[in-house]
Structure 1
Amino acid sequence: MELRHLEYFLMVSKELHFTKAAEKLGISQPTLSHQIKMFEQEIGYSLFNRIGKKIELTKVGEIVQQEALNIQGSIQSMSSQIEAFTKLEIGELKIAVLPGEITDLVSTLCIQFNQLYPNIKVFIQTTDQVEKAVLENRADFGIGFHLNQSSLLQVTKLYDEEFYLISNQSNGEQRVSFSSVLDGPLILFPSMHQCRKILDKTSYEVGKQLEPIVETSSIESILKLVRSGVGRSVVSRTLYEFYDTEDLSFQHIENPSLTRSVYLVMKKNCFINYAARKYIKLLVREIEKLCFHTDKDSITSLRSSIL
């Protein structure tokens, strides 16, 4: 079995189109088809169902795809280890992160990271499929919320955070019920935003309709509108801490409270390169500095394994 056969197979399994895969590989379509046929003969089974111009993976093809990804990951890990030992602070870092507040956290930390390691390029991939990006080696690690468990992934709980009701003036109360939050005009993120999904779900559970007066994906716009008195908003503590909010008042939400857990996800038994280790160390330090509610056992385990 040749490594190029795995490379060709993975590209076809990704594109599900021989011509497109051949173009990306820089070879002719007949050559690619011939190489895949040779690979199938070596495996002893068909890897693709061919239906006219369309193709799809067979069950055997799905098995081979997963194992080929593991082999590809091992090869990349070997290259990363060699590079880490020889170049140290030169390289790149790829992070997969869910859209929303965590993207702001990750992006803001890139400023500090760049000051410390200016020769390391950072690529932030915003995606709803954090686990898939890590499994397919498109990211060194990922950060997200409700992650699906996989036997191939190491998932570490970083911290729990709550959501605040923010306004331009204080009424003297530190806490507010969720029902009261819905009584006044609200300025919120769109429904696709992670914070909004939690609000929509909770509203449905308490039997109330969530009808914001303004929807915007810009946190700067939300804060500006709240300052001007147009309405109140609900934001995560991550956003509240990372933006200039000293002139705004916040209240803890209860009955029910709004909280979520933030997780770090990596491939199991995979080498963590120099850049990833340094960034995760910076991330953990920032979380602890902001006094987020961390899972001490998880953080301790994380430190001992990669930091």
Structure 2
Amino acid sequence: MRGDFMEIRQMENFIVVCEELHFTRAADKIGISQPTLSQQIRALEDELGVPLFDRVGKKIVMTQAGTLFLEHCVQMVRHLQNTQDALAEFRNDQRGKLVIGVLPSDLDYRLTPLLVNFHAHFPKVKLKVVSSIYVLNQVLDNEVDIGIELTSISDDRLVRIPLCSEEYVLVVSENHAWAERNEIGIKELRDIQTVMFPEGFTGRELVDGYCRKYGFTLNTIMETSSATSIISLVKANVGGTVLPYPLIKAMNEPTLRIIRITDDAPYRHFEIIHRSDRYLTQSAKAFIEKTIDYFNQGYVEGE
């Protein structure tokens, strides 16, 4: 084949000529003039390098090359229509893929009801949830479509929608010496052994920053990147931990005891983020709306 490949309109017009075997009738059916249609077919034959029709007076018959080309034209036009239908379904949120970045602990304990609800409304959208402590970078690098992240410094590349603010509390086992306490002052955190996320984790850095304001650091005797492991260690009375109250509430662990920090408790501020230049499908917009509602509901219930 020589030159640029023909346009889809040329193939569609060729199919009509094959159906009619008459240029004038085909031109009327397409809605163009007969000379224009004849010129298109000649250009198509020149591009393909073979005759598609034998012209016998006013009649035309398909050549062998024309018959072969018709077969492939019908397939290509059908594939194009299938693609257009699939894209229409995508636009109408019948299918597609949505990648969400979230913090590990919240994926483990808090977001399952949100994901179930979204799937019920958009069952053909493939939802991929990525657990990471680098959600912000993943959004900026286009590795995820939407991120649920702690509030950080402003960035013009991002659209940021506040979700909620969550109070950190001390969590201990029912067998811990402080299990009967309802509240403590933040400075008392220096007097308890803790099990925490490793340094560098956003939540850990937030709590450490609050403690440094009061001139001390946590007495952390064990670190693990798994929220499940932290809770297991706390339940085994290895030490206490400092985590957001709604997260602990979602765990529904009857053997845990929550102790509120009364003076200047640490807070984390959640937001949902996406790149400002990223096209959001209706399903992505719906996910954002459902996330806002979900966190707002959880925050009110946690009050």
Give the TM-score normalised by structure 1. 0.60
CA contact (8 A) 2:169 2:261 kept: yes
Secondary structure at the aligned position of 1:151 is classed as: coil
- CA 1:214/1:143 → structure 2, altered by over 3 Å: closer, same or farther? same
Match 1:121 to one of 110, 123, 126: 126
CA distance in 1: counterparts of 2:301 and 2:268, whole angstroms:
11
- CA 1:84/1:143 → structure 2, altered by over 3 Å: closer, same or farther? farther
How big is the alpha-carbon RMSD for the aligned residues of Structure 1 and Structure 2? Answer: 3.0
For residue 298 of structure 2, what is the aligned residue in structure 1?
A: 290
CA contact (8 A) 2:105 2:227 kept: no
Q: How does 1:99-114 map to 2 (within 5 A)?
A: 99-104=103-108, 105-106=110-111, 109-114=114-119
How far residue 240 of structure 1 moved from its aligned partner, in angstroms, is: 0.8
- CA 1:121/1:176 → structure 2, altered by over 3 Å: closer, same or farther? same
CA distance in 2: counterparts of 1:134 and 1:227, whole angstroms:
35
1:163 aligns with 2:165: no
| Alignment coverage as a number of residue pairs | 214
1:262 aligns with 2:267: no
Per-residue CA distance 1:217-251 (angstroms, 9 max, x = gap): 22222222222322221111242133132332212
CA contact (8 A) 1:100 1:194 kept: no
Secondary structure at the aligned position of 1:223 is classed as: helix
Letter in 1 for 2:169: Y
Secondary structure at the aligned position of 2:286 is classed as: helix
CA contact (8 A) 1:94 1:123 kept: yes
1:250 aligns with 2:255: no
Letter in 2 for 1:208: F
CA contact (8 A) 2:147 2:273 kept: yes
Per-residue CA distance 1:188-211 (angstroms, 9 max, x = gap): 221132221122222222221322
Per-residue CA distance 1:61-85 (angstroms, 9 max, x = gap): xxxxxxxxxxxxxxxxxx9xx5566
How far residue 125 of structure 1 moved from its aligned partner, in angstroms, is: 3.5
CA distance in 1: counterparts of 2:265 and 2:301, whole angstroms:
15
CA contact (8 A) 1:178 1:253 kept: yes
CA contact (8 A) 2:183 2:259 kept: yes
Secondary structure at the aligned position of 1:182 is classed as: helix
- Which stretches in structure 1 are left out of the alignment for 5+ residues? 1-78, 295-307
- Which stretches in structure 2 are left out of the alignment for 5+ residues? 1-83
CA distance in 1: counterparts of 2:195 and 2:290, whole angstroms:
32
CA contact (8 A) 1:84 1:274 kept: no
Q: Percent identity, aligned pairs only?
A: 22
Per-residue CA distance 1:32-56 (angstroms, 9 max, x = gap): xxxxxxxxxxxxxxxxxxxxxxxxx
Match 1:151 to one of 137, 156, 161: 156
CA distance in 2: counterparts of 1:83 and 1:128, whole angstroms:
35
Match 1:195 to one of 203, 206, 218: 203
How far residue 90 of structure 1 moved from its aligned partner, in angstroms, is: 0.8
Give the TM-score normalised by structure 2. 0.60
Bigger Cα Rg = 2
CA distance in 2: counterparts of 1:108 and 1:224, whole angstroms:
23
Match 1:226 to one of 231, 234, 250: 234
- CA 1:148/1:113 → structure 2, altered by over 3 Å: closer, same or farther? same
How far residue 114 of structure 1 moved from its aligned partner, in angstroms, is: 3.2
- CA 1:243/1:231 → structure 2, altered by over 3 Å: closer, same or farther? same
How far residue 152 of structure 1 moved from its aligned partner, in angstroms, is: 3.3
CA contact (8 A) 2:114 2:291 kept: yes
How far residue 289 of structure 1 moved from its aligned partner, in angstroms, is: 2.5
CA distance in 2: counterparts of 1:188 and 1:210, whole angstroms:
9
